Amino acid sequence: MKSFEIGYGDDKVIIHPRMASIAEVEETQRQLNELAEDSADKYQREFELCRDALDSWSKSPAEKLVKEKGEFKPVKIEGGLKAHYAERSPENERCVREAYQIVCTQFRPDSRFVF
């Protein structure tokens, strides 16, 4: 699994995903599917489920890029993604959703047709 950077402007996070089991992924998907469409907290719960899944599917702690002396350096995020993305702002929600999709895409094995 490849680590990746996500964020807006100077607020970037590096996520280091690990290969999750099918059971882990399906459990998260089951919880997402059980959310009622008309529930008042649907988007809040989706945000929390995706964020928490990203944290649990990490092989090492996420890092925040911090600018020091004109250069960006990765610094471990204390408390993980749950702490960094504690608040559901539009930017945080989009970063968590996109990161979740990126990780899920990486779960698919490489395949190709051979002729």
- Check whether 31 has a pLDDT greater than 90: yes
Going by pLDDT thresholds of 50, 70 and 90, the confidence category of residue 7 is very high
Report pTM. Answer: 0.89
Q: How far apart are CA 82 and CA 61, in angstroms?
A: 11
Tokens 């945000």 belong to 47
Q: Is residue 36 part of a domain?
A: yes
Query: Does 24 fall in a domain?
Result: yes
Sheet holding 71-76, edge to edge: 4-8, 11-17, 58-68, 71-76
Question: Do residues 99 and 15 touch, judged by C-beta distance below 8 A?
Answer: yes
Q: Is 113 among the domain residues?
A: no
Q: At what angle do helices 90-106 and 42-56 cross, to 10 degrees?
A: 50
Number of domains in the chain: 1
Using the predicted structure, report yes or no on whether residue 90 has a pLDDT greater than 90: yes
Q: Which domain holds residue 91?
A: 4-106
114 falls within a domain: no
